[in-house]
Amino acid sequence: MQDRFLDLAYEVSRVTEEKVGVIDHVVRQTGMLAINARLEAARAGTAGQAFSVVAQEVGTLAQSIREVSAELRAAISANVALLETAGETLRRDMRGARFADLARNAVEIIDRNLYERSCDVRWWATDRAVSDVLCDPSDLARDHASERLATILRSYTVYLDLWVADRNGEVIATGRPDRYPCAAGADVSNTEWFRQAMRAESGAHFHVCDVAPNAILNGAPVATYSTAVRRDGATHGEPIGALGIFFDWAPQAAAIVGGASLDQDERAGTRVMLLDADLRVIASSDGAGLLTEHYPLQIGDPHRGYYQRGDRLVAYALTPGYETYAGLGWYGCIDSPLRAGTGG
Residues 67 and 128 in one domain: no
Please report whether residue 224 resides in a domain. Answer: yes
Among 289, 290, 297, which Cα is nearest to 332's?
Answer: 297
Average pLDDT over residues 315-325: 91
Q: Is the pLDDT of residue 121 over 60?
A: yes
Is residue 274 one of the residues assigned to a domain?
no
Euclidean distance between CA atoms 45 and 302, whole angstroms: 86
The number of folded domains in the chain is 2
CATH code of 217's domain: 3.30.450.20
* CB-CB contact of 162 with 222 (8 Å): no
- Quote the pLDDT of residue 326: 85
Same domain? 61 vs 169: no
Sort strands 281-284 and 304-309 into parallel, antiparallel or unpaired: unpaired
Is 181 domain-assigned?
yes
8 A C-beta contact, residue 87 and residue 5:
yes
Rounded Cα distance between 344 and 339, Å, is 10
Separation CA 194–CA 84 (nearest Å): 59
Rounded to an integer, the average pLDDT of 3-31 is 64
Asked if residue 237 and residue 130 are part of one domain, the reply reads yes
> Same domain for 69 and 138?
no
- Report the amino acid identity of residue 335: D
CB atoms within 10 A of CB 317: 25
The answer as to whether 275 is a domain residue is no
Both 79 and 169 in a single domain? no
Domain co-membership, 84 together with 127: no
Whether residue 280 lies inside any domain: the answer is no
- Enclosing H/E stretch for 322: none
Q: What is the DSSP string of 96-144?
A: HHHHHHHHHHHHHHHHHHHHHHHHHHHHHTT-HHHHHHHH---HHHHHH
* Distance of alpha carbon 341 from alpha carbon 105, whole angstroms: 23
Beta strand pairing status for 312-318 and 304-309? antiparallel
Closest listed residue to residue 283, CA positions, set 338, 342, 344, 334: 334
Among 252, 287, 302, the domain-final residue is 252
| Model confidence at 241: pLDDT above 80 | yes
Amino acid at 185: G
Question: Above 80 in pLDDT, residue 186?
Answer: yes
What residue type is assigned to position 211 of the chain?
V
Residues with Cβ within 8 Å of 25's Cβ and at least 6 positions away in sequence, in order, are none
161 three-state secondary structure: strand
Q: Output the pLDDT for position 69.
A: 66
In a domain, residue 191? The reply is: yes
131 and 245 part of one domain: yes
CA distance 113 to 120: 11
Residue pLDDT, tens place only, 49-101 = 665 655 566 666 666 667 766 776 676 666 666 666 666 777 788 899 999 99
pLDDT at 58: 60
- Same domain, yes or no: 162 and 242: yes
- Give the burial class of 61: count Cβ atoms within 10 A of its Cβ; 0-12 exposed, 13-18 middle, 19 or more buried: middle
CATH of the domain at 7: 1.10.287.950
pLDDT of residue 152: 97
Domain match, 121 and 247 both: yes
Q: Which residues are within 8 A (CB) of 301 and not within 5 positions of it... i.e. 6 or more apart?
A: none
Name every residue whose Cβ is closer than 8 Å to that of residue 109 and which is 6 or more positions away in sequence. 256
In a domain, 262, yes or no: no
Task: Band the pLDDT of 331: cuts 50, 70, 90.
Answer: very high
Q: Which of 252, 283, 316 is the last residue of a domain?
A: 252
In this prediction, residue 38 carries a pLDDT of 63
CB 204 within 8 A of CB 235: yes
Please tell me what DSSP assigns to residue 181: T
Cβ neighbours of 312 (radius 10 Å): 15
d(CA 329, CA 88): 33
> Is the residue at 126 inside a domain?
yes
Residues facing residue 223 across a β-bridge: 247
Residues 161 and 204 in one domain: yes
Give the DSSP H or E segment for 306. strand 304-309
Of the candidates 252, 267, 286, which is a domain's last residue?
A: 252
Same domain flag for 130 and 248: yes
Tell me which of 6 and 194 has the higher pLDDT.
194
Give the structural domain span for 186.
Answer: 117-252
Same domain, 79 and 142: no
